[in-house]
Structure 1
Amino acid sequence: MLDERKASILRAVVEEYIQTAQPVGSGHIASAPGVQVSSATVRNEMAALETEGFLAQPHTSAGRIPTEKGYRYFVDALTQPSLDRNASQQVRAFFDQAHGEIEQMLADTTRLLTGLTDYAAVVVGSPHEVATVRSVQLVSLAPSTVLFVAVLGNGAIEKRTIELAADVDEDVLAQAGRAVLGHVSGAPLSAAAAVPPAPDAPVEEVLAAVRSAVASGGHDEIDHVYVNGTSRMAASFEAVETVRSVLTILEQQLVVVTLLRDVVDRGLNVAIGSETGMQPLADCALVVAPYTVDGEQVGTVGVLGPTRMNYPQALAAVAVVGQRLGNRLSEG
């Protein structure tokens, strides 16, 4: 733990470096809010912070910059950050208007996060194969054509158009729908391929068609990943090689899923530099939050930026968007 003066000086250095990306000198920090001590005292305290590993001096004559340890102390000392009024209105307006297929909503959510933070945004949705079924409907499109609709626990909607050998009436469809729902409610959609036979021949004909349609549906077995704002990353780093490495990682869906899941599983909402577990992200920070639907964690939202990211803003944006996304998907 740092004493109050060292903590206030470190906080001032981090905040200034986040804004300017330039090494911070003692003269500037001496007049920062919450510091109010002489430049000589600041120099001594900054030297001590460097010795303790919270700050680094890139050049002999330059000011100092935060280290990974310094950023971690800064983040851990933050009180619960909140979005400003304008950003809160953006989030509210977005989710008030968000409708339609879950895939489009998740893609649009990444654009919202990028707009709020100016960093690359990632949203991961669970694979439909592991999502449980909330409701099922069989809708007549024509006398012998039926639309099978399943609403999943992750907010996704699965549809299959089924062609029957004979015309079918609404009562038979209703019976078949109840039989399917009774078997798959709370289970993965794939369970519909094993709905028990019905004694009534017309109902069984519909159930057989449902089993076949679901079995041949080609379910996803990997998480759905949506990324936006990669061009913002290029503007965040001076080293071309760093940009190339980061963009390469963002293009690898499985790597992104594994990265976010690992950070969440470790109980972190911020991973800084080496904490990401990936050497190419040594100069990056990742802010993540899981989102839940009906109390079940189904995915993750996050932003990836430089280690000198605006942590209060990023934490607030990710937390609020994750909560609102889960609420919106729970509403159906």
Structure 2
Amino acid sequence: MLDERKAIILRAVVTEYIETALPVGSGHVATVPEVTVSSATIRNDMAALEADGYLAQPHTSAGRVPTEKGYRFFVDQLGGPGRLGASESQQVRSFFSQTHGELEQMLADTTQLLSGLTRYTAVVVGPPHEVATIKSIQIVVLAPRLILVVLVLSNGAVEKHSIDLLHDVDEAHVAAASQRISALLVGQGLAAAGSPGLDDAISLVESDPVREIVALTVASLRVEHRQDDHVFIGGTSEMVASFDAVATVSEILRILEQQLVVVSLIENVLDRGLSVAIGRETGNEALSDCSLVVAPYVVDGESAGSIGVLGPTRMHYDQALSAVAVVADRLGKRLSEG
């Protein structure tokens, strides 16, 4: 454990390096108001911090830069998310008060919001469909032999299915079918549409047009077209500004294109009880120069998905933690409202 003086010096080095991306010398540290010791003492303490693995010296004539261990100490000392700035908070409130439409578009737009707040690449993992329950089913007549089924799920997703019918139907048939389907499926998981007992219930419907609507609607819900996870990425261009090496940027972008890898990265960090993974803590060697800040979002009291930002290890951690926490909270509340 570092003593208070070394901790102050380390924070000063990390803070300056995050701002400038240049090695930090003892001369700068001496100008920090919290540092009240001589330059000689600062140099000795910086040498000790290097020996303990908190700092590194890229060149003998240069100042020091933080290591993963140094960043980890810095992040742990932050004590979690702080308060988001007033203008940023207003931006988040305005976004979620105005965002409407289907879940996928909302999550895609959320990545742009989060990337804009942090200037890092943002990731949103959508709720898996298999854990969702059906909140409501609405059927609309588009033509005598064409209906639109609108399915609202507990995770905020909205699915639409156009169904061609074999016979003409009217509003009365659709109303009766909606009532029957709602009684069978609302409050159930999506897997309920595949229940063998459902076919027996459908066969008991007396009206031929109503039975046809119910049967074809259930059949449309059984079609296995859903992905287990929906991953949305925003602000990938921020990677170009964060790293000088083209090869590094290319490798990071390659990873972001792999949905399963992205989901596994975020889940692994959260499963370890972390909100920040620094460098090799991400578990992916290709991200050794990156940090990942993540948070789950909760819908109706249950963890439904996760969001995060990916940037360089010299990340503005306080800003990233605050933005991720606030956006995760507002996203969960917005989806809970339906």
TM-score range, shorter chain: over 0.9
* Matching residue of 1:141: 142
**Deviates most, 272-281 or 124-133:** 124-133
Match for residue 227 of structure 2?
A: 221
Does the aligned pair in 2 maintain the 1:54–1:68 contact within 8 Å? yes
Q: Which residue of 2 aligns with 1:8?
A: 8
2:288 paired with 1:282: yes
Moved more, 99-108 or 237-246: 237-246
Q: Deviations 1:167-193 (Å, cap 9, x if unpaired)?
A: 334444334323323333343334224
- What letter corresponds to residue 2 of structure 1 in structure 2? L
1:105-124 mapped onto 2 (5 Å cutoff) = 105-124=106-125
Contact 1:31 1:37 in 2 (8 A): no
2-side partners of 1:257 and 1:153: how far apart?
21
Tell me which amino acid in the other structure corresponds to 1:259.
Answer: L
For the residues of structure 1 that align with 2:180 and 2:281, how far apart are their CA atoms?
49
Cross-structure match for 2:126 = 125
Q: How does 1:1-332 map to 2 (within 5 A)?
A: 1-79=1-79, 80-194=81-195, 195=198, 196-197=201-202, 198-202=204-208, 203-216=210-223, 218-332=224-338
TM-score by length of 1: 0.94
Aligned length: 331
Deviates more, 1:107-116 or 1:143-152: 143-152
Q: Could you tell me which amino acid in structure 2 is paired with residue 288 of structure 1?
A: V
Question: Structure 2 counterpart of 1:119, which letter?
Answer: Y
* Separation in structure 1 between the aligned mates of residue 143 and residue 187 of structure 2, nearest angstrom: 29
Q: Which amino acid aligns with 1:209?
A: L
Identify which range, 199-208 or 119-128, moves more after superposition.
199-208
Distance 1:247 1:67 in 2: 24
Shift of 1:56: 0.9
Output the amino acid matched with 2:157: A
Q: 2: CA distance between counterparts of 1:174 and 1:129?
A: 27
Give the partner amino acid of 1:221. Q
**Alpha-carbon distance between aligned partners in 2 of 1:186 and 1:263, rounded to the nearest angstrom:** 32
Task: Provide the rounded CA distance (Å) in 1 between the counterparts of 2:191 and 2:147.
Answer: 19
Secondary structure, aligned partner of 2:152:
strand
Q: Is the 8 A contact 1:127 1:220 kept in 2?
A: no
Tell me the secondary structure at the aligned position of residue 230 of structure 1.
coil
1:178 & 1:23 partners in 2: Cα distance? 68
Structure 2 letter corresponding to 1:11: R
Post-superposition offset of 1:38: 1.5
Q: Return the alpha-carbon distance in structure 2 between the equivalents of residues 212 and 42 of structure 1.
A: 72
Contact 1:154–1:293 (CA under 8 A) maintained in structure 2: yes
TM-score in terms of structure 2 length = 0.93
Same amino acid, percent of matched pairs: 62
**Within 1, Cα distance between the matches of 2:32 and 2:99?**
42
Runs of 4+ in 1 over 4 A off after TM superposition: none
Q: CA deviation at 1:287?
A: 0.3
Find the aligned partners of 2:122 and 2:47 in 1 and give their Cα distance. Answer: 36
Answer with 17-26 or 171-180: which moved more: 171-180
Greater shift in the superposed pair: 219-228 or 273-282: 219-228
